[in-house]
Structure formats: structure tokens, C-alpha cells
Amino acid sequence: MIISVNIDNLSLINEIQTTFNVLYKQKNELKKEFEMNPYTKIYIYIENDNILGILHINDIYDRYEINNIYVLEEYRNKGIASKLLEYVIELGKKNNILNITLEVRKNNVNAIKLYNKYNFKEKAIRKGYYNGIDGILMEKEMM
């Protein structure tokens, strides 16, 4: 099951913060992100009451930016990230968005395979963006 996280659901936000503390390292980081960034949208994948994956986007008028997509290590390669991405792509279609963009480390082969599967295309290289490793800006056109 995929659900959209509401800013008022503080206990869920805390649970997400704890589950994905590799992404949200500062205390209350996710709560602050919701409070300070009106474009923040979080979708989580839940199975048997456990949160297994997260997709964090900025929903900016007519486009989406993917901030993070993360699946707990022991649940990877079972299609969870694909389900999260498909969910957001469908949402984007309904909302007539123009494109979805993201940045990925050049050496993150699994993530790049995932994005290629959904027709994201390489648009630009950010030289040395991640501590000397190039970043690739990818875009999926929706129109």
C-alpha cells in the first residue's frame, strides 16, 4: 500500500524520520522540511504495517522534482521503488505536470536502471557534484 503523508500526522512523520535516518540525519529534519518547504510531498510504501520505502518529491506547480527515493536494504529488488515511482507518475499525469526531474550519482547503477525503465533521459552532467563523482540530471517528459 502507498500512502501520501500528511503534515498533521506527526507520529507518522517521526516514524518515517526514524526508519529513514540515513536520509534525515538531523533531529526532526523531516518535520522541519514539511514546515519550511510548502512543496514537500512524501509517499511511503507500507507492508504489514511496516514502512519499507519512501519517495520524497518537491511538487512545484507544473513539475515534480524527486529529492529522494529509498527502499530499506533487505527489501530491495522486489519492485517497491518501481511501485512508488509509478504511483507518482500516475499522479503527475492526473495533475497535467510537464516533467519529472532528479539528480543521480553517475555510479548509482541500480537507480539509473530504475529511472531508465520509466523513460527518464539524461539531460545534463554536473561535473564532480557529489564529492568528485559526477551527477546526472535526468528528466521524464510528461507531455
Contact 28, 17 (CB under 8 A): yes
The single-letter code of the amino acid at 48 is N
Count of chain residues binding ligand COA (CB under 6 A): 17
Geometric angle at alpha carbon 28, from 87 and 101, rounded to 5°: 35
Among 5, 13, 51, 81, binds ligand COA (CB under 6 A): 81
55 lines the binding site for ligand COA (CB under 6 A): no
Among 82, 95, 107, 119, binds ligand COA (CB under 6 A): 82
55-71 burial, b at 16+ Cβ within 10 Å, e below that, comes to bbbebeeebbebbebbb
Q: Where does residue 71 fall: left (phi above 0), alpha (psi -120 to 50 degrees), or beta otherwise?
A: beta
Query: Quick one: 53 or 92, whose CB is closer to ligand COA?
Result: 53
Among 26, 28, 50, 110, binds ligand COA (CB under 6 A): 110
Among 104, 120, 135, 140, binds ligand COA (CB under 6 A): 104
Residues lying near ligand COA in the complex (CB under 6 A)? 69-71, 76-82, 104, 108, 110-111, 113-114, 117
